[in-house]
């Protein structure tokens, strides 16, 4: 992983090219990473959209007591694998589930890059996305499809307000 990241940083620093292109060059110069590995997870998240910020908040739960206006508070996403360095943990913990059909639920899907990664990693599995506002996903869906996301099965999507009791909705999802 370190050798890939060193090359990634070097390529980005020298060429000033976009992250996805730098990762693509690394993959071309090296053997393709193993499905589910740290570098594979980082590459896939970036391939499907990667780090996004300043995404307009359209809906706020009427139960959310935080003090902000929807017009000024923005979303950030696509930052788990590389920016928060979760890929090393995911690759370790999810290894035993590879090549199996599972049910995976992601809460807070924003534009759907995470759902696309999970769909690639667990092909044919039941992938569920929950969010209070699905419009960002739907606006990005054609782009994800263009990138060959959800090639076997589309994810199931449900409107979900994490600040409310969702016991009835949970029955529908399960």
Tell me the C-alpha distance between 129 and 157, whole Å: 5
User: Domain segments of the chain: what residues?
Assistant: 33-56+73-173
Instruction: Classify 38 in phi/psi space as left (phi over 0), alpha (psi -120 to 50) or beta.
Output: alpha
Q: Is the pLDDT of residue 17 over 80?
A: no
* Percentage of residues of the chain with pLDDT beyond 90: 44
Instruction: Give the H or E element holding residue 56.
Output: strand 52-56
Tell me the C-alpha distance between 103 and 161, whole Å: 20
**What is the average pLDDT across 118-141?**
95
What pTM value is reported for the model? 0.79
Q: What is the pLDDT of residue 135?
A: 95
Read off the tokens for 128. Answer: 């569920």
Instruction: Classify 36 in phi/psi space as left (phi over 0), alpha (psi -120 to 50) or beta.
Output: left
Instruction: Give the H or E element holding residue 54.
Output: strand 52-56
Q: Is the pLDDT of residue 53 over 70?
A: yes
Instruction: Give the H or E element holding residue 156.
Output: strand 156-159
């Amino acid at each position: 992983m370190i050798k890939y990241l060193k090359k990634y940083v070097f390529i980005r620093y020298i060429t000033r090219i976009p992250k996805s292109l730098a990762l693509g060059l690394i993959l071309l110069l090296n053997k393709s990473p193993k499905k589910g590995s740290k570098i594979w997870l980082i590459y896939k998240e970036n391939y499907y959209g990667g780090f996004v910020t300043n995404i307009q908040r359209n809906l706020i739960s009427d139960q959310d007591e935080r003090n902000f206006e929807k017009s000024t508070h923005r979303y950030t996403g696509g930052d788990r694998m590389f920016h928060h360095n979760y890929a090393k943990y995911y690759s370790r913990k999810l290894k035993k589930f590879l090549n199996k059909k599972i049910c995976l639920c992601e809460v807070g899907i924003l534009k759907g890059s995470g759902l696309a990664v999970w769909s690639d990693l667990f092909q044919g599995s039941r992938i569920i996305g929950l969010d209070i506002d699905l419009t960002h996903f739907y606006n990005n869906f054609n782009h994800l499809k263009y990138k060959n996301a959800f090639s076997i099965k589309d994810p199931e999507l449900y409107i979900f307000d994490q600040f409310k009791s969702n016991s009835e909705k949970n029955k529908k999802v399960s």
